[in-house]
Chain A
Amino acid sequence: MDHASLGWWGVPLAVLAGAIRVSTPFLFVSLGECLTEKSGRINLGLEGTLVMGAMSGYATAYLTGNPWAGVLVAGLAGSLLGTLHAMICALERVNDIAVGIALMLLGTGLAFFLGKPFIQPQAPQLPSIPFGWWSGSAQVRSALDINPLFLVGLALAPLLLWGLRTTRWGMVLRIVGESAEAARAMGYHINRVRLLATAAGGFFAGVGGSFLSLSYPGSWNERLSSGQGITAVALVIFARWDPVLCVWASLLFGGAGALGPALQSVGVTQGYHLFNAAPYVLTLAIMIATSSSRHRLAGAPAELSVTR
């Protein structure tokens, strides 16, 4: 790709294009985590789920030749890990944060173990939709090559918001997240609701992982994810547990993540690693700015342990 023709204008364009590409895994993980946290439990293991999704999606796409089968299997692998998380958390005296850390380790370990044979071969990639067909500029065209998964994520966000607000299922989920006591008194099975919410959240995170290996960066290796999962968990707090706000937050983080590669493409290599750390710095800055030691965060599910 030649960025010279656009010069420094290539940077904002690349950041914009990157924001769309890089934000997709953030979007899926944060939507999944949003759903899980709404039920009053946090799953910190989504970092492991993301890597597991990336590996299983890539392996399935390679073995079947169909990248969409990879996306599905990645989602299923994610929901399996989510189910495991929920089942252990349902036991007495078990802390959901600790289980998340354990699954971060297990998910990453399993993905590296099982994914060893798939580092070399090239799996078929997800197709993208060329929204930039009208433009003569190669950069603009490549920037507007948008992956359908991003659009799915965009559609999913308002759907989730609607589901949480207006459907019976959404209401039950919110009751369980706001007051386990009340939900129990009303006869709902708290652990069952949380299991479904965590499994569904794991599915989304797994799909987000498959995007990493099947679209952008588009290969499987052990350095594929470094912290996108945990950043997405923090992002949900920033988005105040609102799925639609998760979209904007994901785009912001995607843009921050794209800054390093964009600057590198115009020849700024100094501080490359520091620019790559931009999403983490941004996350931390936002958490510092929006948290408070005195009162609970607005919109936080009352049963959630992280915001206490």
Chain B
Amino acid sequence: MRPFLHGAVTRLSATRLSAVLAAPLSALAPPVAAVAVSLALFGAFVALVGVDPVEMYQLMYRGAFGTWFSWQNTLTRAAPLILTALCTALPAQLGLVIIGGEGALVLGALAAAATGMALNGAPAALVLPAMALAGMAGGALLIGGAGALRQWRGVNETISSLLLTYIAIAVLNHMVEGPLKDPSSLNKPSTPPLADAYMIGTLPGSSVHWGLVAGIVCAVAAWVLMRRTTFGFAARMVGGNPRAARMAGLPVGRLLVVTTALAGAAAGLAGMVEVAAVHGRASASLVAGYGSTGILVAFLARQNPLAVIPVAVLFGGIGASGGLLQRRLDLPDASVLVLQGIIFVVLLASEAMRGRLRLFTFARPTAAPKEA
């Protein structure tokens, strides 16, 4: 399951300047084309159920990027998406397909909320970092666990990370309805609300919380780690050819477990941010699909941590416009899910077109073996 994750990474090794410039272009073309084709397909789909696609896309644009209000909504949703996308994109450098971002988010949120409860009364300067660390540890435990199982027991990481997600959601439900339940939360069981002092504030002049900055910092750090350090070089070597990496004496197991743990920590931080900036408590409503959307964000960004940022903003916008589509056009809230599914399918199909159509052949295609 190696080659499809790469492409753009190895492309940079071309020596000619033009090829270096063309590389980002040829990496950009298939995802952009895939999104365009998907939008057309989704337009045709809603036209079938009697909705005017032009009107829908106008509304969608307005709900996502049309006003300052919608921009703030979009960016608030983009923050956790950047972090859950990193949960898939980081292990992808090693050739792993991790889809447990939702579970890591949930476990991170639970750990952060529990820490906030336990340290109630302590100064915020102590509690907030502790919550962030607890959230990251929760996520790292889950995804790092999937990585460790892969390394030492040969358990397929895709299946195990999804199973761990279901287990994490069950643990969340158990804790918020049982040991950590706030007795006054009757209709919607949740942990006691965090004190206002422990809530993450918003960026000056906006309603967007600091989680967005945390997400961007993590994405940049992930990019630097993977592209500018020996650790990242070794990790990508494992992704390119695990056997060659092992022959070269690289500590494959350690690289694998550390990278998956970092990936989980990113999604766990997303959970902490959701608790400390949006919900103010842990409850079942934390399971909002940020994990599954994050997988798509990572694939559309071609597993590049920097590209994750704009793609997360795009999908934050699509998510933000969902409410408007529901109110104005009476479209079900699952419309966003359908659009995401179409984009994902078309994106994977477009991968095969790369290097085939003239439009996409800016750089010399590298030999990519087939047959998974």
| A binding-site residues for B, Cβ under 8 Å | 44, 48, 84, 88, 91-99, 101-103, 105-110, 112-113, 116, 180, 222, 226-227, 230-231, 233-234, 237, 270-274, 276-277, 280-281, 283-284, 287-288, 291-294, 303, 305-308
Number of A-B contacts (CB under 8 A): 161
Interface status of B115 (Cβ within 8 A of chain A):
no
- With known contacts A287-B155, A291-B153, A292-B153, A113–B335 Cβ distance under 8 A: yes
Q: Which of chain B's residues have a CB closer than 8 A to the CB of A271?
A: 174, 178
Contact check: which of A48, A102, A293 meets B153 at CB < 8 Å? A293
- Across the interface, name the chain B residue whose C-beta is closest to A294: B154
For the complex of A and B, the 4 pairs showing the least CB-CB separation, nearest first, are: A106-B341, A109-B337, A112-B334, A91-B352
- Across the interface, name the chain A residue whose C-beta is closest to B145: A284
Tell me, rounded to whole Å, the shortest Cβ–Cβ distance linking B108 to chain A.
18
Q: Which of chain B's residues have a CB closer than 8 A to the CB of A227?
A: 162-163, 166
Interface status of B198 (Cβ within 8 A of chain A):
no
Q: Which of chain A's residues have a CB closer than 8 A to the CB of B169?
A: 226
Q: Is B341 within 8 A of A107, CB to CB?
A: yes
Q: Which of chain A's residues have a CB closer than 8 A to the CB of B334?
A: 109, 112-113, 116, 222
Q: By the criterion of a CB under 8 Å from any partner CB, how many residues of chain B are at the interface?
A: 54
- Across the interface, name the chain A residue whose C-beta is closest to B342: A106
Q: Which of chain A's residues have a CB closer than 8 A to the CB of B332?
A: 112-113, 116
Q: Which of chain A's residues have a CB closer than 8 A to the CB of B370?
A: 92-93
- With known contacts A93-B370, A292-B153, A105–B162 Cβ distance under 8 A: no
Tell me, rounded to whole Å, the shortest Cβ–Cβ distance linking B236 to chain A.
18
Q: Is B159 within 8 A of A305, CB to CB?
A: no
Tell me, rounded to whole Å, the shortest Cβ–Cβ distance linking A175 to chain B.
15
Interface status of B360 (Cβ within 8 A of chain A):
no
Interface status of B170 (Cβ within 8 A of chain A):
yes
Q: Which of chain B's residues have a CB closer than 8 A to the CB of A280?
A: 163, 166-167, 170
Q: Is A113 within 8 A of B368, CB to CB?
A: no
Q: Which of chain B's residues have a CB closer than 8 A to the CB of A103?
A: 341, 345
| B binding-site residues for A, Cβ under 8 Å | 1, 3-4, 97, 99, 149, 151-156, 158-160, 162-164, 166-167, 169-171, 173-174, 177-178, 292, 295-296, 299, 332-342, 344-345, 347-349, 351-352, 354, 368, 370-372
Q: Which of chain A's residues have a CB closer than 8 A to the CB of B167?
A: 277, 280-281, 284
Q: Which of chain A's residues have a CB closer than 8 A to the CB of B352?
A: 91-94
C-alpha gap A280/B24 in the complex (Å): 41
Knowing that A93-B4, A294-B154 are A-B contacts, what are 10 other residue pairs whose CB atoms are under 8 Å apart, sorted by A's residue number? A88-B349, A91-B351, A98-B97, A101-B158, A109-B341, A112-B332, A113-B334, A277-B166, A291-B154, A291-B155
Q: Show 28 residue pairs from A and B whose CB-CB distance is below 8 angstroms, ordered by the A residue.
A: A88-B348, A88-B349, A93-B4, A93-B352, A94-B4, A94-B352, A95-B1, A97-B1, A98-B348, A102-B296, A105-B341, A106-B341, A108-B341, A109-B339, A109-B340, A112-B334, A230-B159, A230-B163, A273-B171, A273-B174, A274-B171, A277-B171, A284-B155, A287-B155, A287-B159, A294-B154, A305-B1, A308-B1
Q: Is A105 within 8 A of B340, CB to CB?
A: yes
Q: Which of chain A's residues have a CB closer than 8 A to the CB of B154?
A: 291-294
- With known contacts A102-B341, A273-B174, A293-B151, A93–B164 Cβ distance under 8 A: no
Tell me, rounded to whole Å, the shortest Cβ–Cβ distance linking A264 to chain B.
13
Q: Which of chain B's residues have a CB closer than 8 A to the CB of A96?
A: 372
- Across the interface, name the chain A residue whose C-beta is closest to B345: A102
Q: Is B338 within 8 A of A233, CB to CB?
A: no
Q: Which of chain A's residues have a CB closer than 8 A to the CB of B166?
A: 226-227, 277, 280
C-alpha gap A44/B348 in the complex (Å): 15
Q: Is B99 within 8 A of A101, CB to CB?
A: yes
Q: Is B372 within 8 A of A108, CB to CB?
A: no
- With known contacts A88-B349, A116-B332, A288-B153, A95–B341 Cβ distance under 8 A: no
- Across the interface, name the chain B residue whose C-beta is closest to A107: B341
Contact check: which of A105, A226, A293 meets B344 at CB < 8 Å? A105
Tell me, rounded to whole Å, the shortest Cβ–Cβ distance linking B100 to chain A.
11
Contact check: which of B4, B155, B345, B354 meets A288 at CB < 8 Å? B155
C-alpha gap A271/B174 in the complex (Å): 6
C-alpha gap A23/B40 in the complex (Å): 41
C-alpha gap A308/B150 in the complex (Å): 11
Q: Which of chain A's residues have a CB closer than 8 A to the CB of B159?
A: 44, 230, 233-234, 287, 306
- With known contacts A305-B372, A306-B156, A273–B173 Cβ distance under 8 A: yes
Q: Is B372 within 8 A of A97, CB to CB?
A: yes
